[in-house]
């Protein structure tokens, strides 16, 4: 079969990081393109009205196109923006967030915002996950769109301690001393050490500490932590803004990145996190900081919110005590009665920082019933953010401000912080 080859001009970058073009009145999406590129492309597959293509030849490069410095670029699935100069990466991210807000969120005129650039465009990643194929002796990242491991000896976005850890793992892979049954390694950089999971020479995964914005966090490679530590101070500032008051709720709290600064600003804080290891670290981090006014519920967010509602709605103390126990709040000295649980209705502030999939409908609906005075939504996926904002705005909230952070240079990913009130 003859493969179809066409010439197109890239109009702009789309959420997801592909370039948009049109050919024969059809929409074409082209990975690794730059806006303004004149390209010869090959249609690889078709889905509905959209063709997905690959670049055969750059006929006329866009003025923002640069030579990708990484030898694995194009094969490795880790980076997909190295073909753009840095300003073009930032511009594309503004456009991607706006596009999602408009098309998915129905928000035509969002507040103005910029993407705060990363201080380091390379060597910024302080957390990584490496795939390991023990049969083919490959260690690195999945190839783009596949589960094949791209063997990566040097990764240009890793911080030096993580690059050293990758090199060490590679040496062990080559001398046959890596365990055969491991599929991936996760690593995170602390102030003095690197935590690696699964551990190699030690019995258990090493805990490390990380000092950020005046707080000290204990954590390890098994729990979530943000990838780009350089941008965490401005991210925390943007998320908390002027927030302060009596009651706050934090959903998807991890090891407590926002929990500690929130606990300093509110009289009572409850944070919810389903990962047991992360919740344990968050408790430890609060205790080490001497913050006794915050409690962590080790629960699924949707279930916790619904349990909380039952406790608030049902005046019977026995029932609410049972619900408090179930909601993980029984240790809280602040929340002793059904009335106090009910006081969590309309809290002063609610911060949510869900995974890429965003918040479930159950979560958004429960937030709408809880009616916090202010909401801060921290998101690493503008598409699910826009979907959730649409529901919050339809539920009576106003979008007050928007900020974005380039936590992941050389990739299409972007972190967004949105404030709402209602």
Residues that bind ligand SAM (CB under 6 A): 224-226, 252-254, 257-258, 272-275, 278, 300-301, 353-355
Closer to ligand SAM by Cβ: residue 51 or 273: 273
The tokens of 42 are what?
């090959």
CB of 264 vs ligand SAM, minimal distance in Å: 16
For residues 253 and 259, the answer to whether their CB atoms sit within 8 Å is: yes
Closer to ligand SAM by Cβ: residue 268 or 273: 273
Question: In whole angstroms, what is the distance from residue 40 CA to residue 90 CA?
Answer: 26
Question: In whole angstroms, what is the distance from residue 405 CA to residue 116 CA?
Answer: 5
Question: In whole angstroms, what is the distance from residue 261 CA to residue 215 CA?
Answer: 8
Question: In whole angstroms, what is the distance from residue 356 CA to residue 343 CA?
Answer: 31
Closer to ligand SAM by Cβ: residue 275 or 313: 275
CB of 67 vs ligand SAM, minimal distance in Å: 33
Q: Residue 184: how many CA atoms within 13 Å on its side-chain side?
A: 15
Strand locations in 227-363 (E):
245-251, 266-272, 294-297, 349-352
Question: In whole angstroms, what is the distance from residue 34 CA to residue 12 CA?
Answer: 8
CB of 357 vs ligand SAM, minimal distance in Å: 8
Residues in a beta bridge with 13? 19
Q: Cβ-closest residue to ligand SAM?
A: 254
| Residue 64 vs residues 78, 247, 355: alpha-carbon distances, Å | 21, 48, 32
CB of 378 vs ligand SAM, minimal distance in Å: 7
Closer to ligand SAM by Cβ: residue 138 or 210: 210
CA dihedral sign of residues 189, 195, 198, 200: positive
CB of 265 vs ligand SAM, minimal distance in Å: 16
Spatial strand order in the sheet of 19-23: 5-9, 38-47, 50-60, 26-30, 19-23, 12-13
Closer to ligand SAM by Cβ: residue 71 or 355: 355
CB of 307 vs ligand SAM, minimal distance in Å: 13
Closer to ligand SAM by Cβ: residue 49 or 357: 357
Closer to ligand SAM by Cβ: residue 155 or 236: 236
Residue 150: CB partners within 8 Å, gap ≥ 6? 72, 75, 76, 77, 138, 140, 141, 142, 143
CB of 299 vs ligand SAM, minimal distance in Å: 7
CB of 79 vs ligand SAM, minimal distance in Å: 20
Closer to ligand SAM by Cβ: residue 170 or 210: 210
């Amino acid at each position: 079969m003859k493969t179809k080859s066409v010439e197109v001009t890239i109009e702009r970058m789309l959420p997801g990081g592909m370039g948009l073009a049109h050919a024969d009145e059809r929409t074409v999406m082209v990975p690794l393109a730059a806006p303004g590129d004149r390209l010869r492309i090959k249609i690889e597959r078709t889905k509905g009205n959209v063709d997905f293509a690959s670049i055969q030849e750059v006929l006329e490069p866009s003025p923002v196109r640069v030579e990708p410095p990484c030898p694995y670029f194009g094969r490795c699935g880790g980076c997909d923006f190295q073909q753009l100069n840095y300003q073009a990466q930032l511009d594309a991210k503004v456009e991607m967030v706006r596009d999602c807000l408009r098309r998915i969120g129905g928000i035509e005129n969002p507040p103005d915002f910029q993407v705060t650039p990363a201080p380091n465009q390379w060597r910024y990643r302080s957390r990584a996950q490496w795939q390991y194929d023990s049969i083919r002796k490959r260690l690195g990242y999945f190839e783009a769109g596949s589960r094949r491991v791209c063997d990566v000896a040097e990764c240009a976005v890793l911080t030096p301690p993580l690059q050293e850890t990758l090199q060490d793992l590679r040496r062990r892979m080559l001398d046959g001393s890596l365990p055969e049954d491991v599929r991936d390694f996760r690593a995170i950089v602390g102030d003095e050490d690197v935590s690696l999971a699964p551990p190699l020479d030690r019995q258990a995964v090493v805990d490390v500490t990380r000092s950020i914005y005046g707080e000290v966090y204990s954590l390890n490679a098994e729990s979530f932590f943000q990838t780009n530590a350089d941008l965490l101070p401005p991210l925390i500032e943007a998320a908390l803004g002027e927030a302060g008051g009596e009651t706050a709720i934090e959903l998807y709290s991890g090891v407590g990145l926002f929990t500690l600064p929130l606990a300093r600003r509110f009289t009572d804080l409850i944070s919810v996190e389903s990962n047991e290891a992360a919740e344990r670290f968050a408790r430890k981090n609060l205790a080490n900081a001497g913050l006794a006014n915050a409690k962590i519920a080790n629960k699924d967010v949707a279930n916790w919110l619904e349990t909380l509602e039952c406790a608030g709605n049902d005046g019977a103390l026995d029932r609410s005590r049972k619900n408090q126990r179930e909601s993980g709040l029984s240790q809280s000295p602040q929340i002793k009665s059904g009335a106090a649980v009910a006081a969590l209705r309309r809290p002063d502030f609610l911060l949510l920082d869900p995974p890429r999939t965003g918040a479930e409908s159950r979560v958004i609906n429960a937030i709408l019933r809880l009616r916090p005075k202010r909401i801060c939504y921290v998101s690493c996926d503008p598409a699910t953010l826009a979907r959730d904002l649409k529901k919050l705005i339809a539920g009576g909230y106003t979008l007050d401000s928007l900020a974005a952070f380039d936590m992941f240079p050389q990739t299409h990913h972007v972190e967004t912080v949105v404030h709402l009130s209602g």
